[in-house]
Structure formats: C-alpha cells, structure tokens
Amino acid sequence: MTLFSVDGKTVVVTGGSRGIGKMIASGFVTAGATVYISARKAAEAEKTAAELGCVAVPADLSTPEGIEALVGAVSEREGRLDVLVNNAGATWGAPLEEYPEHAFDKLWGINVKGVFFLTQRFLPLLRASASADDPARVINIGSIDGLRTPRMDSYAYSATKAGVHMLTRHLAQKLAAEFITVNAIAPGPFESKMMAFALDDPRTRSAIETEIPLGRIGRPDDMAGAAIFLSSRAGAYLTGAVIPVDGGISTA
C-alpha cells in the first residue's frame, strides 16, 4: 500500500448526494474505494450514486430509524468498515430576536446526535477493520464557524459545529486503544447548498474571496484530498485533530 492509498477500503459518507459529501465520495471512488452514500432524499442519493459509481442508502440520520437503516444496509453487504465520514448536517439563519427554539432542536439532532449515534452503531464494523498498522477511521465534518465567531446569524449552527469538534476529541481519546482514529475537518467556503445564498451572488462571492488569504473558494479536490489523507497510511498517526480546510480564514 502506498502512502496515500485508500484502494480497496470500504467507506460510508453521510450526506453524500451533494456538496461537500459528494466531493468526498467522488474522491474516494476515484481512488479505488468501495463507497456507500446516504441522504434523506432517495432520488438525489440514487442519482449521485449512479453518477459516481457507488451505493446509495436513503436515510434520515436525525432519527434512530434512519441510523438503523443505514447501519443495517451496510452490515448486510460488508463485514468491516474502514472509514466513516459523518458529513450530514444542516444550518439555520435568523435574526437574534427571532431565532426559534426548534432550530436548536433540529440542528442538535442532525449535527451532533446523528454523528454520535451513527458512530456508536457502526463500532462493530469499525472494530472489525481496525489494526495497529492501519486503524479504522472516523472523520467528522465540522466547520470553521465552530472555530471562530461567524458574521451570520447562525447561532445553532456554530454552536453545534463546535460541539462536533469537542465530540471528535472525546471519541478520539476513548477509541484510540481500539485502533480507531477520530478526526474532524473544518471546512471554509465551498460550493454547496448551504453556501449557495452567498456564493451565487457575484458581489457576495467576491467579498468572501477577498477575506480568504488564498483568495479563492474551496474546490472539490481540496475537500477530497483532506479526507483521503486522513484515511490513508499518511494519516494513520493522527487522532483528535480538527483540521481547517479553509484557505487560511481561521488564521486571519
């Protein structure tokens, strides 16, 4: 196995039908991995799976039933899981005085509880893959908005993404002895449904690019490369890390 190879690995990417999840899933497929993607909307999941050459498992991971459906579908086909990418998430923006309580409930359920309980339920397959030389990997997708104070009124989003980062560290400490690494990627601006409201407007897009030290929006290879690094031999000695993939925004 070469230093950055993930050839032959089995990978699950949640929220894999579009945006950052699709970028990551596409990168793994191209690199020779067997990939399962999940998404709440079956039609979108099936369309992306057909495009990429992977397997779609429609599931709403904010519910116990959705988690069981995904774990069950993968367990029927695979005896081990090498990489779990917890990418499924949601955001919510509203002025401070109008911010609704149910926004916190929804985002907590998807962004934090979903990550924890899906990881918990996949532990038997992750343990089946894990070894000292090649640990099983869990990669949680956080956000730079969980590292810095965002300008937008996205209170529940930033709070839950900060929670994802701490959950990552906590799980990493607990699972290290079982040779399961747990790391997080904290993306900056990438082309996605969450960012479309800003990036589709040329003036807003230009303003965002001006704030990025590297001067551009993230590209699919930037995100796929970070996930593949963490999943390969090159990333085998990292656990508990939160890696900003943001063009340098978090250093400014």
As a dihedral over the C-alpha atoms of residue 59, residue 64, residue 67, residue 69, rounded to 10 degrees, the angle is -70
Structure tokens at 142: 């956080």
How far apart CA 1 and CA 111 sit, in angstroms, is 34
3-state DSSP: the chain helix, strand, coil percent, rounded to 5?
50, 15, 35
Per DSSP (E only), the strands in the chain are: 10-14, 34-39, 55-58, 83-86, 136-141, 180-187, 242-245
As a dihedral over the C-alpha atoms of residue 71, residue 239, residue 116, residue 188, rounded to 10 degrees, the angle is -100
- Catalytically annotated residue among 36, 99, 157, 237: 157
Is residue 157 part of the annotated active site? The answer reads yes
Active site residues: 157
